[in-house]
Amino acid sequence: MDTNRLSKKIEAILNRQVTKEAEAAQIYLSYGCWADGEGYGGVANFLFRHANEERNHMMKVMRYIMDRGGSVKIEAIKAPPSNPKNLQDCFEKTFKHEVDNSNSIYEIVNLANEEKDWATYNFAQWFVKEQIEEEKLVMDLLDKLKIAGGPKASNESLFNLDKELAEMPDEVPLAREATEDNPE
Ligand code: FEO
């Protein structure tokens, strides 16, 4: 008896997401190594922590495929893109990557909606919310860099930014969770 509760197309798109999350982890690792080499130990630490988060995303999709009786296919992953030119470039590329990942999640949502696969639709909602956080996290980095002086930031302000990122929480508060008593 076939107990696979996923259609072939849903199984394929979820497997594609497994690969994408693994690739995201490699990108964060690679940028983290670059940042460390440039002397930005705090930024590197932040990016390395985030690489772990991407692997957790990968595990979450893998687990879902298995729980629904589907088959996980571990595929080869692309090499990360070349090193960024500077911190601004690093954060901008990271932001573009996150937007690309959000679009990939939306494709899962669209397909699940089309096929009326409400279990997958519901599962994907966690990632829809997570991507709001992921995008906001990088937007905050770009804002912090802008305040530090953007491309003309002094060494001192970059030093302070680097220190701040070493301790920055991995999660960001979202407006949708804000209340009158707790506006953050
Ligand atoms: Fe798994 Fe950064 O999204």
- Whether the pLDDT of residue 19 is over 80: the answer is yes
What is the pLDDT at residue 179? 66
How far is the centre of ligand 1, averaged over its atoms, from the C-alpha of 133 (Å)? 9
User: How many CB atoms are located within 10 Å of the residue 68 CB?
Assistant: 18
Q: Is the distance from the beta carbon of residue 50 to the nearest atom of ligand 1 less than 6 Å? A: no
Cα(30)–Cα(66) distance, integer angstroms? 29
User: Does residue 40 surpass a pLDDT of 70?
Assistant: yes
End-to-end CA distance of the chain: 51
Of the two residues 156 and 99, the one the predictor is more confident about is: 99
Residue nearest to ligand 1 atom 1, measured at CA: 54
pLDDT averaged over the chain? 92
pLDDT value of position 167: 80
DSSP category for residue 38: T
pLDDT for res 184: 59
**pLDDT at residue 49, as a whole number:** 93
Dihedral, CA atoms, 26, 28, 29, 33, nearest 10 degrees?
A: 140
Q: Say yes or no: CB of residue 24 within 6 Å of ligand 1.
A: yes
Is the distance from CB of 8 to CB of 111 less than 8 angstroms? no
Contact 31, 47 (CB under 8 A): yes
Question: In whole angstroms, what is the distance from residue 18 CA to residue 57 CA?
Answer: 8
pTM: 0.91
Query: Is 133 or 175 the better-scoring residue by pLDDT?
Result: 133
Per-residue confidence (pLDDT) for residue 164, from 0 to 100? 87
Residue 175: pLDDT over 80: no
**Token pair belonging to 22:** 């693994």
**pLDDT mean over 141-155:** 89
Q: Are 107 and 10 in contact (CB under 8 A)?
A: no
Rounded distance from Cα 150 to ligand 1 centre (Å): 25
Per-residue pLDDT averaged across 76-95, rounded? 96
Ordered domains of the chain (ranges, CATH): 8-167 (1.20.1260.10)
Of 33-37, 41-45, 50-54, 159-163, minimum mean pLDDT range: 159-163
Q: Is 134 in the pocket of ligand 1 (CB under 6 A)?
A: yes
